[in-house]
Amino acid sequence: MSTGYPTPVYSHAGRGDFRDVYEPAEDSFLLIDALEKDADRLQLMSPCVCLEVGSGSGVVSAFLASVVGPSALYLCTDVNPAAAQCTAKTASCNNVSLQPIITSLVGSTGIEAAWAGGKRGREVTDRLLPVVAQLLSSKGLFYLITIAENNPEEIICSLGKCGLRGESCLSTRAGNERLSVLRFQRT
């Protein structure tokens, strides 16, 4: 059985050279909590590759790397070059190996817009979802942070049509928003 894992060091995020990098907030910490809740499962899976789209500070991937260990390759994408540098600094501060990549798998805007822009707040998410089933390994897990406005049930239904079974694995209230972490796996 897993024991508690420390929150990664990220005090450099949102400051100095990294002032334009998304600082970990309630959504990041909820995702970290969901990963911690699934720690035993993730360790048993022993994944080869872990991908974070929109890594920002890199705190989520650093946490995942502390849970899963050094046998996996941790790819951390972000459209913001400062975020890639911040992710590298977070990796260094936490003695984990992360591979930041300046790119966007989903278009020219960062993933943070996924819960802030477009119809239902899903402009970026809706561009990512069609490729999830192609990227996910047969034993893989896909985690997605949503707010109520994103219509999580519709996302679960949509990915169900692609052969992925989804469920809300953790949720909380942050201010006036209802945050949920959805977890998907192949059926």
- Each residue's pLDDT tens digit in the chain (187 positions)? 445 899 999 999 999 999 999 899 999 999 999 999 999 999 999 999 999 988 999 999 999 999 999 999 999 999 899 999 999 999 999 999 999 999 865 443 333 333 444 455 677 788 788 889 888 999 999 999 999 999 999 999 999 999 999 999 999 998 888 999 999 999 9
Terminal Cα distance for the chain, rounded = 26
Is 36 in a helix, a strand, or coil?
Answer: helix
Q: What residues contact residue 154 under an 8 Å CB cut-off, 6+ apart?
A: none
Strands 141-147 and 177-186, by their bridges, are: antiparallel
Identify the structural domains of the chain with CATH numbers, from first to last. Answer: 16-140 (3.40.50.150)
Of 142, 106, 101, 104, nearest to 123 by C-alpha is 106
Distance CA 12, CA 10 (A): 5
